[in-house]
């Protein structure tokens, strides 16, 4: 196997994940009458009416934040607010503004040099998907029996007191699983993938992708979308090690939940809300402390080729887990430290909408609340400015996006590492303890004697003498960033 080739643009990406029903609502998109009020407590089935033109109208906000790539959870026609129950794969949900709204959004995003990644739900469809509906209507006489795995009739599609008479994701009646072995199904799904790349999207996030256990399908998927655009980003959803799919012939990367898991253990630690954590796919807390964190990060980097590690999507929150600040029981120091690490670590950072202004929320649906455009007084402006300056720092310095990553110190609650690229060195020191720490850092072989490192955003500096920096002080629950270049 040759070394994996991954899209170069992702190395410089700052992703922003949007749950379309809850980010922004445009007055120019017609809506059904029975909507929940914007900002009402989120419910599993209620709509609040966010749409793609609402996103387009707030692209300047995202530009000011520093975002240059947007990942949308599903946008295709569906009878669910999250739209993972796809009815029509070739039609953007009319409530989101239809295909015309996506056209405008992509054009305006690209004009701002922003990429657009869509969520592809190719493992399963919905009871409203035409071919499955045909089976519901015609039973054994349906022309589409081989599109799904039918065990027998009746299907019990709406009788939840009985097992579904067909293969379904997690045995959920609402989500009939495609029979990927059927040539017509493969042709249909690959056609969908190609259609939207031709339309102008820049990548696919693949929902529960490991559950399509057919490597040839994913190899065909890669060939099809790369024929349309060789820089298409192919991102799988896998919560564990995913090397099987990341050898260069299937996907480019995964949502890096192993990164998330390590950050929860180190930056939140035993203060985590164990009840909320238990409801996630993580289940339990990993070992805490800097040595365990260093081990986890080294293992994570070791899993993949550098071309893959440099394009993993590194996230702290998502629509499938409680927000990080809520897992931390509101401890903002944990969130700030984790964000500092996220923005100075290899791979593409991803911000879940609203995290940057301090939105909280436990497990679904609480983590899918409406963005409070209507209540800007609720915004944490200091946190927003912290995000802006960390993102700006990352974007200004290739060492933080493309440089090597070298752990220097991992003891007790202190983790220190270097990022180096083309003559520029960054030293980042993180203290997750509740007390001050003083460090002597051995840098021999990494940074030459006489090198002066300037602290970012302050006038402080340190110098490497006899292979070391001595007496570096770290205040409780804070991090410090030093660079060989002076950063204003």
Tell me the three state secondary structure of residue 397: coil
Strands 115-120 and 69-72: what pairing?
parallel
**CB-based contact 126:175 (threshold 8 Å):** yes
Q: Is residue 455 annotated as a catalytic residue, yes or no?
A: no
Give strand pairing partners of 173: none
CB 419 within 8 A of CB 393: no
Reduce the DSSP state of residue 414 to 3 states and report it.
Answer: strand
**Residue 46: count of CB within 10 angstroms of its CB:** 16
Instruction: Catalytic residue, from 21, 93, 207, 331: name it.
Output: 207
Instruction: State how far the Cα of 238 lies from the Cα of 240, in Å rounded to an integer.
Output: 6
Q: Which of 21, 119, 237, 355 is catalytic?
A: 237
Whole-angstrom distance, CA of residue 328 vs CA of residue 355: 13
* Interatomic CA distance for residues 160 and 173, integer angstroms: 7
Cβ contact 484:456 at 8 Å: no
Q: Collect all residues with Cβ–Cβ distance below 8 Å to 186 and sequence separation of at least 6.
A: 180, 217, 220
Q: Smallest Cα–Cα separation from 354: which of 366, 372, 337, 334?
A: 372
d(CA 56, CA 78): 21
Nearest to 117 by CA among 222, 199, 221: 199
Neighbours of 424 (CB within 10 A): 15
Other CB atoms within 10 A of residue 363 CB: 18
Q: Is the Cβ–Cβ distance between 428 and 479 less than 8 Å?
A: yes
Q: Is 237 marked active-site?
A: yes
Contacts of 240 (CB under 8 A, 6+ apart): 257, 258
362/277 Cα distance (integer angstroms): 9
Strands (E), 125-273: 203-206, 233-236, 253-254
Distance (Å, whole) CA 374 – CA 220: 45
Catalytic positions: 207, 237
């Amino acid at each position: 196997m040759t070394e994996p080739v991954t899209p170069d643009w992702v190395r410089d990406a700052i992703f922003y994940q949007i749950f379309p029903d809850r980010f922004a609502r445009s007055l120019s998109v017609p809506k059904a009458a029975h909507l929940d009020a914007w900002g009402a407590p989120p419910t599993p089935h209620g709509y609040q009416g966010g749409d793609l033109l609402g996103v387009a109208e707030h692209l300047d906000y995202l530009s000011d934040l520093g975002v240059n790539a947007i990942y949308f959870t599903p946008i295709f026609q569906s009878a669910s607010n999250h739209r993972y129950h796809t009815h029509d794969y070739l039609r953007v949900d009319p409530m989101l503004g239809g295909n015309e709204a996506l056209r405008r959004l992509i054009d305006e995003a690209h004009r701002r040099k922003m990429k657009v990644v869509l969520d592809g739900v190719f493992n399963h469809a919905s009871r409203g998907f035409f071919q499955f509906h045909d089976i519901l209507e015609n039973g054994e006489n349906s022309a589409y029996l081989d599109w799904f795995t039918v065990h027998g009739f009746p299907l019990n599609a709406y009788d939840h007191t009985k097992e579904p008479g067909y293969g379904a994701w997690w045995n959920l009646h609402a989500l009939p699983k495609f029979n990927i072995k059927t040539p017509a199904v493969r042709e249909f799904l690959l056609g969908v993938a190609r259609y939207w790349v031709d339309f102008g999207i820049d990548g696919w996030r693949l929902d529960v992708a490991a559950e399509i256990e057919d490597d040839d399908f994913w190899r065909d998927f890669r060939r099809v979308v790369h024929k349309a655009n060789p820089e298409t980003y192919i991102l799988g959803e896998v919560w564990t090690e995913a090397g099987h799919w990341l050898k260069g012939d299937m996907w480019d990367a995964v949502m890096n939940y192993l990164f998330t898991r390590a950050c929860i253990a180190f930056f939140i630690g035993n203060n985590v809300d164990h009840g909320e954590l238990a409801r996630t796919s993580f289940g339990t807390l990993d070992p805490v402390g800097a040595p365990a964190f260093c081990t986890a990060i080294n293992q994570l980097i070791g899993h993949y080729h550098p071309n893959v590690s440099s394009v993993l999507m590194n996230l702290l929150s998502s629509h499938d887990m409680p927000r990080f600040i809520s897992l931390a029981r509101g401890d903002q120091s944990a969130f700030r430290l984790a964000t500092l690490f996220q923005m100075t670590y290899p791979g593409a950072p991803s911000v879940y909408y609203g995290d940057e202004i301090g939105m909280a929320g436990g497990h679904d649906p609480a983590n899918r609340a409406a963005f409070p455009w209507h209540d800007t007084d609720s915004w944490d402006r200091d946190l927003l400015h912290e995000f802006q300056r960390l993102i700006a720092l990352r974007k200004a310095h290739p060492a933080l996006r493309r440089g090597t990553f070298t752990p220097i110190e991992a003891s007790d609650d202190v983790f220190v590492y270097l990022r180096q690229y083309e003559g520029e060195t960054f030293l980042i020191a993180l203290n997750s303890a509740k007390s001050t720490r003083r460090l002597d850092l051995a840098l021999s072989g990494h940074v030459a004697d006489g090198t002066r490192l300037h602290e970012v955003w302050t006038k402080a500096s340190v110098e490497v003498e006899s292979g070391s920096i001595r007496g570096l002080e770290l205040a409780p629950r804070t991090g410090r960033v030093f660079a060989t270049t002076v950063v204003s």
